[in-house]
Amino acid sequence: MIESLLIANRGEIARRIIRTARRLGIRTIAVHSDVDAAMPFVREADAAVCIGTALAADSYLRQDRILAAARETHAAAIHPGYGFLSENAEFAEAVVAAGLVWVGAPPASIRAMGLKDAAKERMIAAGVPVTPGYLGADQSPERLQAEADAIGYPVLIKAVAGGGGKGMRKVDAREDFAELLASCQREAAASFGNTQVLIEKYILSPRHIEVQVFGDTHGQVVHLFERDCSLQRRHQKVIEEAPAPGMDEATRTAVCDAAVKAARAVDYVGAGTIEFIADGSDGLRADRIWFMEMNTRLQVEHPVTEAITGQDLVEWQLRVASGEPLPCRQDELSIHGWAMEARLYAENPASGFLPSTGPLDRLRFPADVRVDSGVEEGGAVTPFYDPMIAKLIVHGGARREAAAKLAAAARGTQVWPVKTNAAFLARAAAHPDFVAGRVDTGFIERHAADLIPAAEPSPAVLGAAAAALLPEGADPWVALRGFRANRDAATAVDVEVGGKTYRVEHPAAGGIVADGVLFLDGEAWPFGAPRADAIAGGGEGDGAILSPMPGRVIAVLVAAGQTVARGERLLVLEAMKMEQALVAPFDGVVAELKVAEGAQVPEGTLLARIAVEEV
């Protein structure tokens, strides 16, 4: 067994690897950027080395510094986790050349599956079904247009080097193809340095099915069954589950056998995932499930596979990398119950899923849930890396039980003051169509109105906040006799929630109250007795331009005193690689300009104020 392991990653995956390595008696070494020095994964490792600044290109992507840290700490092996350098064949080769064990896929396998077009050609040769489309070398706009016309619309343009939802465009009509092709190629050039694309038939009711595979150095390859990752937003997975709903045994056998065949075609070793796209319009059928791509690493969603199989996939990785055979044969693996995982992000669904950063004054989860998290209470979410706070993983005897547990876990999550998608996750897991298994990649878009919480507090929140203002243990109906809160009415409570004042006729206890914040159904609302200057109902906007998220002002497009038109861009904010333009709410003049380019601002900061221009 490997004696010492350097983890070339951060956050929750680093902690996950440390947990298993410690159980196996393996010494662990963390590498970290300067802003991550106080993170839990650094403290939990046996040794740690700072390798650069917050910018990933100056730390977690610096191969030379990671290898130097391995030499300095006498590491025997390197585990890349996922993201960063995990699917970088050159880094894998450099690790091996340095005399270290690479806990990952062979470099040749990473290269073979790294480009979507080459991978599909290899799969075709291996007899693995692939989505109908065009993979040719002729990349002229005319040829690509002709191929799209022949396939029939809608089609999907995909960058061959793409990933993470980047470099993809859906084309619904012939007249839109040229413009969307150019847009896709620009994004591909900027993100991957490769403009080559492929064209695929767009599946109208797509489901994302993937199979966990594992190979060892003794020629064995097994699968650990399938996962369904269809619940996505903008091509990013939100909730994953295993097994896939509606998968019968014959279809499962066909898909999992195809996945093993795909892994064998590239002489695969270690943990990998074969991703398929399925046409779910008529249920899951083997002849309507096609190879999409392979991820040559451990997946974010691997815990659901662990939950239904009872296996530790990180342990499998470490044993295989040590030269041991796979811990189980195929006939020793089986499915037990149902598992689901939700990704808790630092973002605000009510404001278009804008990122939210800042301190984690409160971070609490229900006790009966597996939580894989890279942060802890008292820490912070920074703007430098992925905004995922935690993964909530549940297991039940059947799918409905797992869905109910997941919804309850999300509802019971408490995070403050960072905003999260917990309420959104709770609503998704409890939605009747999700519970019934009617899920495809368009689920969130179709049901957005039901899933995204309103920006204003719900009646339940107002009722609970009002009740919390009453004397502890008091019956609301008894306590309200003679109760006054800036009003004359004896049967109502005035309460300030989220900065606005509301009159609540029927207080009703609920949720959890801590330090002036109400946690209810996955949401967090600051509340209290109304201030003397509070305006009932909150009033309307007065031209104040507030920062909708913590971030950096990357552009100031107006000057104080300048006349602006409604909808005109005023400033641009950037956080977590997302840009947000702020515009004038009405025709007027820039009465105040509070910030300059380069300023870091917290959420809610007054950036500018627009006033009606006097005639």
Q: Cα angle vertex 401, ends 248, 525, to 5°?
A: 130
Residue with tokens 């296996």: 311
Amino acid at 428: A
For residue 200, which of 167, 227, 236, 230 has the smallest C-alpha distance?
A: 167
- Cβ proximity of 131 and 291 under 8 Å: yes
Residue 309 CB: number of other CB atoms within 10 A? Answer: 20
On the CB side of 448, CA atoms within 13 Å amount to 12
For residue 82, which of 304, 384, 301 has the smallest C-alpha distance?
A: 301
Look up residue 417 and give its two tokens: 């003051």
For residue 411, which of 387, 394, 396 has the smallest C-alpha distance?
A: 394
Cis-peptide into 243, omega within 30 deg: yes
- 111: Cβ contacts below 8 Å, ≥ 6 apart: 89
How far apart CA 527 and CA 5 sit, in angstroms, is 47
For residue 228, which of 440, 393, 443 has the smallest C-alpha distance?
A: 440
SS (HEC) of 94-108: HHHHCCCEECCCCHH
CB neighbour class for 608 (10 Å; exposed up to 12, middle 13-18, buried from 19): buried
Look up residue 133 and give its two tokens: 């489309």
Strand, helix or coil for residue 512? strand
Active site residue 297: yes
- Cβ proximity of 390 and 12 under 8 Å: yes
Please report which residue ranges of 452-562 form alpha helices under DSSP H.
Answer: 459-468, 476-479
Taken in order 194, 198, 204, 208, the sign of the CA dihedral is negative
- Cβ proximity of 224 and 255 under 8 Å: no
How far apart CA 182 and CA 139 sit, in angstroms, is 12
For residue 20, which of 306, 295, 335 has the smallest C-alpha distance?
A: 306
- 246: Cβ contacts below 8 Å, ≥ 6 apart: 280, 283, 284, 437
How far apart CA 168 and CA 290 sit, in angstroms, is 18
Question: Residues 297, 362, 370, 427: which is the catalytic one?
Answer: 297
CA of 5: how far to CAs of 27, 59, 71, 219, 585, in Å?
A: 6, 18, 12, 25, 55
**Radius of gyration of the chain, Cα coordinates, nearest whole angstrom:** 26
Taken in order 576, 579, 584, 585, the sign of the CA dihedral is negative
- Cβ proximity of 575 and 383 under 8 Å: yes
Look up residue 295 and give its two tokens: 């991820």
How far apart CA 223 and CA 213 sit, in angstroms, is 4
- Angle, in degrees to the nearest 10, between helices 313-321 and 302-309: 100
Specify the pairing of strand 600-601 against strand 551-556: antiparallel
Amino acid at 94: A
Query: Which sequence positions are flagged as catalytic?
Result: 297
